[in-house]
Structure 1
Amino acid sequence: MSWLAHEWRLLVRSRLAVAALALLLALSALAVLSGMREVARQQQTIARLAALQQQDLAAQARKYAQGGDAGSAAYYTFHGTWDAPSPAAFLALGLRDAAPYVLRVRALALQAQLHEGESFNPELALAGRFDFAFVLVYLAPLFLIALLHDLVSSERRSGRLGTLLAMPGAGRRLWLRRAGLRTALVFGCLVLPVLAGAPGSGSAMATVAAVLCATAAYLAFWSGLALLVATRSGSSAANAMALMGCWAVLTLVLPTIANAALARALPVHQGVELMLAQRQAVHAAWDLPPQATMEKFFRTHPEWRHTAPLPSGFHWKWYYAFQQLGDQSVAPQVAAYREGLLARQRWTSRLGWLLPGVGVQAALHRQADTDLQAQLAYQDRIAEFHARLRAYYYPYLFNEVRFGFRDFAAQPRFSPPARSSETPAGQLLGLGLMAIFALALGVAATGRVRPA
């Protein structure tokens, strides 16, 4: 291992290289710390709102100590739902930065309640969070470029290249040793904070291993690309400019163009439009004959057809019937909305096989359970709970049963399922293949270095 000690001594003589590695380590540690603080803040918010929710339920329950009306209880009682961050969420916050992770729902029409949380200032979400995924995708390649762009050109400029190539053990092995050491140090600076933070977050070993594999594959791709450019006969400045151009195209330009093309090819209406359409259907029901509304409701809920007819004036079962009809009226739009989002997600995953930045982001967000799939899964859990809530209230409403204290206490409660870590095998495979291809080109290029 004498070569390792020798290469290390040469590296530490470069103040720029040492400063770059120290800065990367500090940025990675700061990103991990920032992610853990944001996850802790979200967990505290969920805990605080859960306590307030219990107080609100206790206050509502006291109103039914002597019995009351089920329709009133369903209208005034809010039920808390939440999506707790996964143990690995501190690495890649993803959509948790913009999508609601706590939502209170009632037994009223669901779609308006689901998409009320989409009203936020887009400028605040534009920059995203400073987390490990940001440092890895956007900053780590820049540090590799700084460390590898003059790997050969600096020796050529100083006049040592011919002597180096004439020495035993030089040639391809020399450049691979130097590039390998620099890449390994960049990898260490990135993952040491991750390894330090993972035990405190409760991340499983399989999760950490998947993150390390994604990081290693992404760095291997950029190392191979840097070797391919650095072993040319160009100057250090020309190599740096070429690699910076590759970085800009691969991490900024092409993903932006691809995102715009997907948005144009797969147009998806905003969830706010679903909310407005559903509310319009609900508000219009006030002007329709109540019996016509009930007849339409009985087509999908025939079990309540033979209950007592509507009295004159307002009745809660008519009110909740047209609330559910409001959801049913936008069901095709909801299905199209979700399918459009999932289609974009599928194409984004496919792009990850061509654009390493997209691929590693998709892998980290899937591993951290902070992507679109996780957001839609939370909405599905809310919808399932909302259906149980309606099913609980309907017998009281349609059979006109009095609603008491025990009935209030027996209402369904939201309980999120236990999380199961999902390894993003497809994204990791794509990253691995791109890394192997880039490394193969870089290794082949190191054998073509000449003194001239």
Structure 2
Amino acid sequence: MYRLLFLQFLRSRAVMASLVLILILGGISIGIGHQFLSQKKAAIDQVESHQKSHIERNVELHKDDLGLLMYYLKFAFVNSPNHLAGLSIGQSDINPNVQRITIKNLEGQRYDTDLVNPMNLQSGNLDLSFVLIYLFPLLIIVFTFNLLSEETETGTWRLVSVQTPSKLKYLLTKLSVRMILIYVVLGILLSVAKIALSIPLDANFMMFVLLSSLYIIFWFALCFFIINFKKNSGFNAVLLLSVWLVLLILLPAGINAYVTNKYPVPEALSTMISQRDGYHTKWDTDKKETLQKFYEHYPQFEKFGYPTEGFNWTWYYAMQQMGDDESLKDTRAFRQKINERENASKQLSAFLPNMHLQLAFNELSGTSLRQHLNFLDATGDFHEKLRLFFYPSIFKGLSGDAIDWAKFTPKYNISDTSDKKHNRFIWPLLIASFIIFLGCIIIGRRLH
């Protein structure tokens, strides 16, 4: 029977066209992911040579004044992308993976982003996660909307009812034919992606495969649940497409609007203003007062005294530090609001499989908002180490020749994108599929 059902199903030109189209779109998405990773790799490869020439050029020009030299010097801190990022680009298309910072005020530099074409941001990326989350459900709908209604509309259902001992088993057999074809397509795309993007066969990739498989089961269960109401093909198609629209477009948009309104972030503006005022107003503030606040932050540097006559680099970098210190309260409030948004989105997505899957893909690929914020925190630590290294030499009035510049190569963020709690990704999809499957059993009894 299986062979006959396969041949009957594949005989349809619409089915073959749909399979070819999804394979083409999947191939394009893998190509886009490969291009994305190549661009990131090319940018990282250029960083080392650029930083070396940048340091050499500025040292040659300003080596007699280390304070002035450090005003210009930038040091690269790199967040190397995970190979899985080619499958789920997430927010890494707008968040830079290379930070080039000076030892001046941090908050004015930490949130700088690369120049990106806004039209590209508006349209988004056709990565493989988009194909899996948005297009595979449409393919499943096309394959299943007339699973039962086709039999009744062509008049063959009565014949099937007489010849088969279980009508439900017959429908599940037809459904399994479609599931096998979908999983074959999924296997082809994931295999090609693994080879093309050089993805290691690690726990994250295996979880990516498992979640994709569970998501497909969820949509097949949902489609089977709806077609068991024995409506005509047109009604099934409209209802399934409406469900697709609600689940993948309307509800995520509503959740985004809710989270945005519930957790507004006016601190984003106040952080920028307080950071700028914290620095610029110090030009008109008593120098001793600025230095006193600076030494409260760094008591180990108080030995350099309170030079208040004329311009000096101790006072200047103390002003820079004050910009960060005076915006610290707003910065913490801003980060708290962002974390609250992230946590609320994760909690609500547990009831929405497509949104949950997107967030899970981003987590596995290292392209989530949380992981970018961790990179920004690591950037702050890197910036602080630079300050603590250079401040003593600047305050002593040393020249640029006193520093061994050869050791200042780009530093790389050591981040672990693996997650030991993979169960939290699995359960929402399993529970949703199980609930719908129970509904299918209850309604399917009507077929006996």
Q: 2:349 aligns with which of 352, 368, 387?
A: 352
Shift of 1:306: 2.9
Cα displacement (A) at 1:119: 7.3
Kindly state the Cα deviation for residue 84 of structure 1 after the two structures are TM-superposed: 1.7
1:412 to partner: Cα distance: 7.5
SS of 2:447's equivalent in the other structure is coil
The structural deviation recorded for 1:410 is 4.7
| Aligned counterparts, 1:212-231, within 5 A | 212-231=209-228
- Change in 2 beyond 3 A, CA 1:271/1:130: farther
Hey, what's the Cα distance between the residues in 1 that align with 2:114 and 2:407?
Answer: 32
Give SS of 1:95's match: coil
The alignment status of 1:157 with 2:153, answered yes or no, reads yes
Matched, 1:75 2:54: no
Conserved 8 A contact 1:115-1:271: no
Hey, what's the Cα distance between the residues in 2 that align with 1:61 and 1:397?
Answer: 14
SS of match in other structure, 2:85: coil
Aligned partners of 1:24 and 1:190 also within 8 Å = no
Alignment partners' CA distance in 2, 1:124 and 1:237: 36
Larger deviation: 424-433 or 225-234? 424-433
CA distance in 2, matches of 1:270, 1:37: 36
Give the CA deviation at 1:273: 5.2
Displacement of 1:29: 1.7
CA shift for structure 1 position 202:
3.0
CA contact (8 A) 1:81 1:414 kept: yes
Deviation digits for residues 300-347 of structure 1 (CA, Å, limit 9, x no counterpart):
212222323305111111111111111011111111111111111111
Which secondary structure does the structure 2 equivalent of 1:80 belong to?
A: strand
Q: Deviations over 1:77-103 (max 9, x none)?
A: 111122221010011000011112222
In structure 2, C-alpha distance between the alignment counterparts of 1:122 and 1:343, rounded to whole Å: 27
**Alpha-carbon distance in 2 for matches of 1:169, 1:17:** 28
Tell me the distance in 2 between the aligned counterparts of 1:232 and 1:381.
55
Deviation, 1:283, is 1.0
Which one-letter code corresponds to 1:108 in the other structure? K
1:299 is displaced (CA, Å) by: 1.4
Q: Which amino acid aligns with 2:307?
A: L
Judge conservation of contact 2:291–2:306 (CA < 8 Å) in 1. no
Q: 2:236 corresponds to which letter in structure 1?
A: N
**Larger mean Cα displacement after TM superposition, 358-367 or 399-408:** 399-408
Which amino acid counterpart does residue 284 of structure 1 have in structure 2? T
- 1:274-293 alignment, distance < 5 Å: 274-293=271-290
Q: Are positions 1:140 and 2:151 aligned together?
A: no
Of the three residues 167, 177, 182, the one matched with 1:181 is 177
Q: How does 1:268-307 map to 2 (within 5 A)?
A: 268-269=265-266, 271=268, 274-307=271-304
Counterpart for residue 15 of structure 2: 17
Change (3 A) 1:427 1:352: farther
TM-score by length of 1: 0.93
List aligned pairs for 1:280-429, cutoff 5 A: 280-411=277-408, 413-417=410-414, 419-422=416-419, 424-429=422-427
Residue 51 of structure 1 aligns with which residue?
49
**Counterparts of 1:328 and 1:425, CA distance in 2:** 40
Superposed, which structure 2 residues align to 1:120-139 within 5 Å? 124-139=120-135
In 2, Cα distance between equivalents of 1:205 and 1:300: 44
- Partners of 1:448 and 1:288 lie apart in 2 by 83
Partner SS, residue 334 of structure 1: helix
Asked whether the 8 Å contact 1:362–1:427 carries over to 2, the reply is no
Number of matched pairs:
446
Distance in 2 (alpha carbons) for counterparts of 1:346 and 1:90: 25
Structure 1 unaligned runs (5+)? none
Is contact 2:276–2:323 with CA below 8 Å preserved after alignment?
A: yes
Q: Deviations over 1:250-271 (max 9, x none)?
A: 1111111111011011112474
Matched position secondary structure for 1:96 = coil
Counterpart of 1:266 in structure 2 is 263
Aligned position for 1:438: 436
Unmatched 5+ stretches in structure 2: none
Q: 1:432 to 1:277 in 2, by over 3 A?
A: same
Cα pair distance change 1:93/1:30, threshold 3 Å? same
Q: Give the stretch that moved more between structures: 19-28 or 229-238.
A: 19-28
